[in-house]
Amino acid sequence: MSVLFDIFDPKAAPRPIGIDLGTTNSLVACVRDGRPECLRDCDGVALVPSVVSYGARGHVVVGAEAARLQSAHPEDTVASVKRFMGRGADDPETRRLSSLRFEPPTSEADSRVVRFRVADRVVSPVEVSAEILRVLAARAREELNGVGGVVITVPAYFDDAQRQATKDAAKLAGLEVLRLLNEPTAAALAYGLEKKQNGTFAVYDLGGGTFDVTILRLDDGVFHVRATGGDSALGGDDFDRAIAESRVLPALGVTAPGPDVRRLALDLARRAKHALTEHAEVELSLPREGSAPLVLTRAELDGILRPIVERTGVACRRALRDAELSPTELTGVILVGGSTRSPTVRAYVRELFGVEPLCELDPDEVVALGAAAQAELLAGEGGVDDVLLLDVLPLSLGIETMGGVVDKILPRNTTIPAEARSTFTTYADRQTGFELHVVQGERELAADCRSLARFTLRGIPPMPAGMARLEVTFSVDADGLLHVSAREVTTGIEQRVEVKPTYGLDDDAIEQMLLSALDHGEDDLAARRLAEARIESEQVLTVTRQALATDAALLEPGERDQIEAAMAALVAALDCANASLIHLANEDLERATHAFAGRRMDAAIARAIGGKQLGEVERSVEGAKGIEAHLAAERS
C-alpha cells in the first residue's frame, strides 16, 4: 500500500481559505487540485462545533471539547453565538431559553452590545467568534503554508451591524477578510462549479440559527441574485427549544429550570431531533430516579416542528414574488444547512416548491466549499473570468427627510456593489448644518425603519431656505457594507462616513420589516402624503406671513382679509390631519395670493433694474425667472 503525503514547500505562497462561521458548527475549506475541499482534523472530522468554554486564568476551549464541557459548565460555555452578533443587551433574543449569564449594561454604550459573564471575565459575541475563527485558521495553517486571506460567509439577511461584527471578529483573530459572501450564494457557487448547470435555482438555507432563501440565475458562470429573504433568528436552535419546552421540560417535572436543567433539556432535545432524522421513534433516558424513558415519535416531532418550518414559507413566497417567478419556473431547489436533514423540513420544501430538492453535496459543507472557491478566485489563483457574483441588497437604504419621511436612495434587491446619490435642500432660512439620519427598511416613515447611523454636515453658509444643495451618495461594497458621503454643492464642504451601525439594534425585526411594509402599505403611503402635505403647507404659510409683513403696501382693498381667511382655513385643515383637505386648502390659498405674488414679482424686478443698463436688466430678468422656476420646482 502506498501512502501519499503533501510536500511542504517553505517558499510556497500562503493559500486563501473559505470559512463558514456557522451557528452550530463551523468549517474551513480550501481549493486543492482545482476543487474545493473541507479541511479535517486528525480523526477526519470537518465540523468544528461553534462552542467556546471559558475557564479560570484565561483558559479557553473551542469546539468538540467545549461542547462536552457545556453540560457541566453551562454558564461559562457560549454556544450559538452567531445569534447574538450585532445585538444589543436589551434584545429579546437574550431572554430566550439560554443558560448564559448576560452582563447588565452600565452605560448607554454598553447597552449596544451583548456581553456574557463567563468564568473570570466578560466577553462579547465578537470576541467569542474570534476564538472560533482562530481555531479554524490554525487548522488551515497546519495543512497549508500559511493563510493568505479569507472569505467568510454570512446569512444573506445579516444586516450592516451583523456583517461589521463578523469582520471585527475576523480582524481580532488576525485574519485578512477578502470578502463577506452570502451563504446561499456560496452554496450556489459550489453547486454551479460542481455541476456546470445553468438555470434558476432557489437556495433554501436553514442552519442552526438563521434562515435564508435566495433566488439565483446561473448563466455561464454568472451568478445573478434575483431576490433574497429570510429570518436572522430562525433555525435548528428553535427546533431544540420547541422540543425542550413542549416535551423534555414537562417530562423532567421542573417548573422553574435553572441553567443546568435548561442545558440538559436542550441536549436531550437535540439528541431526539438527530435520532428521529433516521428513525421513526426514539427513547430518551431521563436523569430522574424511577422515571420512565421519554418516548418521542417522528409524527410527534413533525407536529412540534411544522409551525416553525412553515415560518420559512413566508420568506420563500415573497422571494419568488420579488423575482417574478412561480415555483414551476425553477430549475431546482438547493438545500443548505444541517437543519435541512430533517424529514419535516424536506417534506415541507417538496410541498412548497413542488420539486424534489437537490442535496447531492453535504448540506453542512456546501457553504464552506463555495467560500473556498470564491477565495481562490479573489486571490487570483483561479480563473477569475470564469465566475461572476452579482449579489443584491436585502433591504432598502435611505435618508430621513422633513416630516420623518424616508427617501429611499438604494432600493432592496439592488445589485451590489452599487452606488447612488440624491440631492436635498434646506428647510429653514440661514440653516448652517444638515442632520443626516441613515435608515434601512421598507416602510415610508423613518420611525418604522431601522436606524443605521446619524451624522451632521456643518459649516454651511447661511442661505435662504431651499438655496443650499446637499448631495448625498450611498455606496455599498461587495461585502454589503454601506459608505455614505454628503457634500454641499455650492461650497464644496464634504463629509464621509463608513456606516458602522450600533450593534444594539433590534435584529428580530428584520424578517418583520417586509411583512410590516406589506401589511401597512396603504397606511404608510397615507402617512407619507400627510407628512409631505404638512411640510408644504407650513412652508407656504411661513412665506405668506413674511410677504404680508414686508409688502403690505402692495395689497389691494379687501385682499388681506381674503388671504388671511385662506390661511386660517389651511391651519384648520392641518389640525384635521387629512391630506386631501390640506391640499384643497393649499390650492385656495394659492389662488388668494396669486395676484399679490405677481405684484411682488413686478416690484422686485423694478427694484432690480432701477438705473441699470440693458444688459444688466436682461440678466436681472433672467435671474428673476430662475428664482420663479426654482420656487415652482420646490412647490412641485
Nearest alpha carbon to residue 376 among 186, 219, 134? 186
State the pairing for strand pair 222-231/211-219.
antiparallel
Residue 600's H or E segment, with its range, is: helix 579-609
Contact predicate 299/281, CB 8 Å: no
What distance in Å separates the CA atoms of residue 632 and residue 636, rounded to the nearest whole number?
Answer: 6
Given a contact cutoff of 8 angstroms between Cβ atoms, the answer to whether 474 and 410 are in contact is: yes
Instruction: Answer yes or no: are the C-beta atoms of 425 and 451 closer than 8 Å.
Output: no
Can you tell me the distance from the alpha carbon of 418 to that of 40, in angstroms, rounded to the nearest whole number? 37
Distances (CA, A) of 527 to 267, 520, 540: 49, 10, 20
Strand partners, 311: none
Percent helix, strand and coil across the chain, each to the nearest 5: 45, 25, 30
Q: Active-site residue numbers? A: 20, 82, 183, 205
Kindly report the length of the chain. 636
Strands (DSSP E) found in 160-198: 177-182
CA distance 24 to 50: 5
Q: How far apart are CA 265 and CA 245, in angstroms?
A: 8
In single-letter form, the type of residue at position 417 comes to P
Cβ-defined contacts of 478-481 (< 8 Å, 24+): 478/179, 478/391, 478/416, 478/417, 479/163, 479/167, 479/177, 479/179, 479/180, 480/158, 480/160, 480/163, 480/180, 480/182, 480/391, 480/393, 480/416, 481/160, 481/163, 481/164, 481/167, 481/180
C-alpha to C-alpha distance for 56 and 183, rounded to whole angstroms:
36
User: Is the N-terminal amide bond of 417 cis, ω within 30° of 0?
Assistant: yes
The CA–CA distances, whole Å, from 257 to 119, 243, 244, 265, 584 equal 21, 15, 11, 9, 63
3-state secondary structure of 21: coil
Cell of 532: 409631505
Residue 553, classed as helix, strand or coil, is helix
For 298-312, give one letter per residue: b (16+ CB within 10 A) or e.
bebbbebbeebbeeb
Cβ neighbours of residue 439 closer than 8 Å, sequence gap 6 or more: 397, 398, 399, 400, 406, 446, 449, 450, 451, 452
